[in-house]
Amino acid sequence: MNQWKRFEDMVKQIIEKEQIPGAAVAVSQDGETIYQQGFGVKDIKTSEPVTPETIFGVASITKSFTALAIMKLAEEGKLTIQDKVIHYLPELRFKELEKTEKMTIHHLLSHTTGLAPLKRKEHLINFNEHIAYLAEQELQWLGEPGSYLSYSNDSFLLLGAIIEKITGQSYQSYIQKLILEPLQMKRTTFHLEQLQQWINVSTPYVIQNGELEACPWPTLGNYAVGGGIRSNVLDLMKYGNMYIKPHERNIVKADTVAQMYRPVHQIGRNSFYGYGLQTTPAYAGVSLVEHSGNQPGVSSHFGFVPQKGLAAAVLTNVTGVRAHAIWLAAVNTALGLPLEQQRSIEPTYEATEEQLQRLTGTYRSAERGDMHIYLDGKTLKATIDNKTYTLRASDERTLVIEQLQKPIRFFFKDSNTPWAAFFGLRMLLR
């Protein structure tokens, strides 16, 4: 069977199982697109098919654009990654002033500020307003900056404020001039009003009570710094090729690109987070460099394999589905690896009932809701976003969601009771 036919069969199975209205996939090698395909429909009412040119949200793939812009400013000598954030944003004054003064640009880029997830304030459209909001909060701290990784859209967006302060341009204008225009990403935008003028734009959906429901494009406000780009998979190939051949694109140097995906903090058995990108350095003899995205009406995944000159992107128009699984299957196909190969496999661990019992409880995130873990008879279960999952142990501090094969890592201090659980790149507090 043709290798891409097997891949397409798998995609169709995922689409059916997870109620994905539409998806687009593209893969390039050494600057040439070797695979592009649309699946499903961009709008379930009109049944118009998705094509590789269809525009979707990319959500947190945007973070790599922002990180790239910061690295460009570092390359030009306009900042250094170890600079204190308050050097550029002196008005930033968290109530814990000592921690504020320790926070660097490195911590913002790598989500290692030490802040627990915060409640989103998407109505804020001015960085000064957001800084004032942060200064007013009784923030929950995981530890000193650099001690823990916890994905933080609220601290990441401060990079946009720094870009504006240094360049004298708006954040979005700077990204447009630095990246989108030179790469001729002509169907990529931050602006919702531009989508209304374009054709072949997907309709965003969420799943409510088991049914697909159309939803408005999120306005995001200042969170656009970490999630506001709308694009298509062919434009993302132009972007991906910039990472593969930076010397040809003349935006940043190869050393700057490599620094973005250098491991900073471990997030999985074999995977690490860098600057707006995560990396699995030892995957069948190559490195996977990637980032996912999820917001109302979007599940996305983008990345590249530098040693092989490969870039790949997957965009869908529904929240909370496995775009990352489709992406890895596409990369495996291009590399000639088994379709189902994974970054890592969690081992099986026979935990005692006492070990399982101590992990039960409610773990809270101000940004994304709670995770409740409980014993149902002798079976450990979790309720997340109103969905119930079966869990198994992979070691004495790690559980695995069976249906998703996603680990939950628990953190302990002095007692037998965990104080936090690391899941979805966030530290949820017990």
Residue 247: phi, psi to the nearest 5?
-65, -25
Same domain, 360 and 305: no
Cβ 96 vs Cβ 139: under 8 Å: yes
> Which pLDDT score is estimated for 285?
95
Across 27-36, 145-154, 399-408, least confident range:
399-408
Between 305 and 135, the higher pLDDT residue? 305
- In which band, very low, low, confident or very high, does the pLDDT at 367 lie, cut at 50, 70 and 90? confident
Same domain, 21 and 61: yes
Same domain, 174 and 155: yes
Percentage of residues of the chain with pLDDT beyond 70: 100
Same domain, 81 and 186: yes
pTM for the whole structure: 0.96
Owner of token pair 């799943």? 207
H helices within 42-200, ranges in order?
Answer: 62-75, 85-88, 97-102, 105-110, 127-136, 153-156, 158-167, 171-175, 192-195
- In which band, very low, low, confident or very high, does the pLDDT at 93 lie, cut at 50, 70 and 90? confident
Tokens coding 38 = 């649309």
Same domain, 242 and 361: no
Same domain, 253 and 361: no
Alpha-carbon distance of 419 to 399, in angstroms, equals 15
What DSSP assignment string belongs to 343-401? S--PPP----HHHHHTT-EEEB-TTT--EEEEEETTEEEEEETTEEEEEEEEETTEEEE
pLDDT, one tens digit per residue, over 272-316 is 999 999 999 999 999 999 999 999 999 999 999 999 999 999 999
> Which pLDDT score is estimated for 256?
96
For residue 275, the domain's CATH number is: 3.40.710.10
Residue 47: strand, helix, or coil? coil
Residue 383: name the closest of 352, 428, 413, 335 by CA: 428
Q: Which helix (H) or strand (E) holds 312?
A: strand 310-316
Residue 188: strand, helix, or coil? coil
Kindly tell me if the per-residue pLDDT of 166 is higher than 70.
yes
Same domain, 303 and 323: yes
pLDDT, one tens digit per residue, over 173-208 is 999 999 999 999 999 999 999 999 999 999 999 998
Alpha-carbon distance of 402 to 389, in angstroms, equals 7
Looking at the structure of the chain, the number of domains it has is 2
Same domain, 179 and 325: yes
Same domain, 257 and 331: yes
Alpha-carbon distance of 228 to 420, in angstroms, equals 29
Q: DSSP secondary-structure letter at 197?
A: T
Same domain, 417 and 334: no
pLDDT mean across residues, the chain? 95
Owner of token pair 């429901």? 213
Cβ 391 vs Cβ 399: under 8 Å: yes
Q: Which helix (H) or strand (E) holds 298?
A: strand 298-305
pLDDT, one tens digit per residue, over 73-91 is 999 999 999 999 999 999 9
What DSSP assignment string belongs to 36-53? EEEEEEEETTTTEEP-TT
> Which pLDDT score is estimated for 416?
82
- In which band, very low, low, confident or very high, does the pLDDT at 231 lie, cut at 50, 70 and 90? very high
- In which band, very low, low, confident or very high, does the pLDDT at 385 lie, cut at 50, 70 and 90? confident
- In which band, very low, low, confident or very high, does the pLDDT at 364 lie, cut at 50, 70 and 90? very high
Kindly tell me if the per-residue pLDDT of 403 is higher than 90.
no
Domain stops at, among 314, 344, 374: 344
Cβ 232 vs Cβ 53: under 8 Å: yes
Cβ 34 vs Cβ 27: under 8 Å: yes
Domain stops at, among 344, 379, 409: 344
Same domain, 89 and 164: yes
Q: What is the mean pLDDT of residues 320-333?
A: 97
Order across the sheet with 398-401: list the strands: 361-363, 371-376, 379-384, 387-395, 398-401, 406-412, 418-423, 426-429
Q: What is the mean pLDDT of residues 324-338?
A: 97
- In which band, very low, low, confident or very high, does the pLDDT at 414 lie, cut at 50, 70 and 90? confident
Range of the domain at 387: 353-429
Between 322 and 1, the higher pLDDT residue? 322
> Which pLDDT score is estimated for 135?
87
Q: DSSP secondary-structure letter at 295?
A: E
Same domain, 233 and 304: yes
Domain stops at, among 293, 323, 344: 344
Handedness of CA 126, 69, 425, 103 (dihedral sign): negative
Kindly tell me if the per-residue pLDDT of 1 is higher than 60.
no
What are the distances in angstroms from CA 320 to CA 52, 275, 384? Answer: 21, 23, 12
Q: How far is CA 298 from the centre of its chain?
A: 11
Percentage of residues of the chain with pLDDT beyond 90: 88
Handedness of CA 10, 16, 18, 21 (dihedral sign): positive
Cβ 310 vs Cβ 331: under 8 Å: yes
